[in-house]
């Protein structure tokens, strides 16, 4: 009887542990937040077949400032999305900067939730479509949090996460997920812009791209072209840092990554239905096999990645000013 009672207590503790863990770190409180998402491979899976996607539990870490005088205070929130290598030191440095500015932050863990550490050299285990869905499900969950201002939630990301920050503003996919919740701002670091949408309906929320002029992983030119296409209909801007490579905002030296895909010769079409079409054949890359086939026509292996001190010096204050402008407006 005592053993059964003990097992019940342990089971109850496990359930509580599963849904939320709260730890106090002086001026900040951290909570591990779980929510239900799914595993779409392509944007078309979201737009045309979302209800049929396999369910997936996802988690992230919410960091909240603590105000001893106002326990019910609502904070603006920055949701962060890592790149193909997962969370890295410079990503976390931005999140810590936002926390010190008085923002809540949420580190989305799409990779760890699925037992994945990296998608470099494959880009099939966890896709941009998958993480866009995760990001909106996180937004939906966190909007109900008593200490989050649901009208002041921004999304930022790097590389793959930059693609999430950028294309979460594409209305066909956004509206297929939710019409109740929206991001107040989108800050994308070196996103893959070589996907040109036929439907150029994007959110009217501010969208900012920061990218290196020497990036051969996700090149700057397609981002400049995309901004030119969208500039009359959307609130989008781009900043290009000369001589800066992919990951310019890190402190790591520039090195060659032989596994990484260089997309400098790629320009894919994104249809209204969310299909990304191959170069030349114009076939949809709607699963991992077709995507690998499509990459054969334009992708090369071998990219450079690493920090540029001058670009890093500029990008951190730029990001701080961007978030302050778009999330702190009206704050006392």
What is the rounded CA–CA span in Å between residue 33 and residue 19? 6
pTM of full prediction above 0.85: yes
**Which letter does DSSP use for residue 300 in this model?**
E
Q: Where are the alpha helices (DSSP H) in 143-287?
A: 160-167, 171-177, 220-230
Residue the block writes with tokens 């239900």: 36
In the chain, domain spans: 24-327
What is the rounded CA–CA span in Å between residue 129 and residue 177? 11
DSSP-derived 3-state class of residue 131: helix
DSSP-derived 3-state class of residue 310: helix
Write the burial class of residue 331 (CB in 10 Å: 0-12 exposed, 13-18 middle, 19+ buried): exposed
What is the rounded CA–CA span in Å between residue 120 and residue 86? 10
Residue the block writes with tokens 């989108």: 186
- Residues near 141 by Cβ (< 8 Å), separated by ≥ 6? 33, 35
Q: Which two tokens stand for residue 297?
A: 């026509």
Q: What is the predicted pLDDT for the residue at 330?
A: 64
What is the rounded CA–CA span in Å between residue 185 and residue 204? 9
In order of 74, 90, 120, 201, 290, the CA distances from 196 in angstroms are 38, 29, 22, 12, 18
- CATH architecture label of 24-327: 3-Layer(aba) Sandwich (3.40)
289 contacts 305 by C-beta, under 8 angstroms: no
Identify which of 173, 104, 169 has the alpha carbon closest to the alpha carbon of residue 133. 173
Per-residue pLDDT of the chain in tens (332 residues, 90 and over written 9): 444 444 443 343 333 333 444 555 558 999 999 999 999 999 999 999 999 999 999 999 999 998 756 788 999 999 999 998 889 999 999 999 999 999 999 999 999 999 998 888 777 789 999 999 999 999 999 999 999 999 999 999 999 999 999 999 999 999 999 999 999 999 999 999 999 999 999 999 999 999 999 999 999 999 999 999 999 999 999 999 999 999 999 999 999 999 888 888 899 999 999 999 998 889 999 999 998 898 888 989 999 999 999 999 999 999 999 999 999 976 65
Q: What is the predicted pLDDT for the residue at 216?
A: 95
- CA dihedral for 115, 155, 43, 192, sign (positive or negative): negative
Q: What is the predicted pLDDT for the residue at 26?
A: 56
Write the burial class of residue 268 (CB in 10 Å: 0-12 exposed, 13-18 middle, 19+ buried): buried
DSSP-derived 3-state class of residue 259: strand
HSE-CB for 169 with a 13 A CA cutoff: 30
What is the rounded CA–CA span in Å between residue 197 and residue 24? 44
């Amino acid at each position: 009887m005592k053993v059964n009672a003990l097992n019940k207590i342990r089971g109850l503790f496990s359930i509580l542990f599963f849904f939320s863990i709260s730890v106090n770190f002086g001026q900040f409180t951290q909570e591990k937040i779980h929510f239900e998402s799914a595993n779409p491979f392509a944007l078309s899976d979201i737009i045309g077949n979302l209800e049929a996607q396999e369910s997936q539990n996802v988690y992230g870490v919410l960091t909240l400032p603590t105000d001893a005088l106002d326990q019910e205070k609502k904070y603006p929130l920055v949701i962060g999305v890592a790149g193909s290598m997962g969370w890295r030191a410079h990503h976390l440095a931005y999140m810590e900067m936002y926390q010190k500015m008085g923002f809540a932050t949420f580190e989305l863990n799409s990779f760890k939730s699925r037992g994945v550490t990296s998608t470099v050299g494959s880009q099939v285990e966890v896709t941009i479509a998958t993480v866009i869905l995760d990001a909106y499900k996180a937004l939906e969950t966190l909007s109900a949090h008593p200490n989050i201002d649901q009208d002041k939630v921004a999304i930022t990301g790097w590389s793959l996460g930059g693609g999430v920050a950028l294309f979460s503003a594409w209305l066909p996919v956004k509206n297929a997920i939710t019409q109740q919740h929206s991001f107040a701002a989108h800050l994308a670091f070196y996103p893959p812009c070589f996907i040109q949408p036929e439907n150029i309906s994007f959110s009217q929320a501010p969208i900012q791209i920061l990218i290196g002029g020497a990036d051969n992983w996700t090149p700057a030119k397609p981002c400049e072209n995309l901004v030119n296409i969208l500039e009359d209909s959307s609130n989008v801007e781009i900043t290009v840092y000369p001589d800066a490579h992919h990951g310019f905002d890190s402190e790591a030296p520039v090195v060659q990554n032989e596994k990484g895909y260089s997309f400098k010769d790629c320009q894919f079409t994104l249809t209204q239905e969310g299909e990304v079409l191959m170069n030349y054949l114009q076939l949809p890359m709607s699963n991992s096999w077709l995507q690998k086939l499509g990459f054969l026509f334009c992708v090369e292996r071998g990219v450079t990645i690493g920090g540029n001190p001058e670009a890093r010096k500029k990008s951190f204050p730029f990001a701080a000013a961007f978030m302050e402008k778009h999330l702190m407006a009206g704050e006392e």
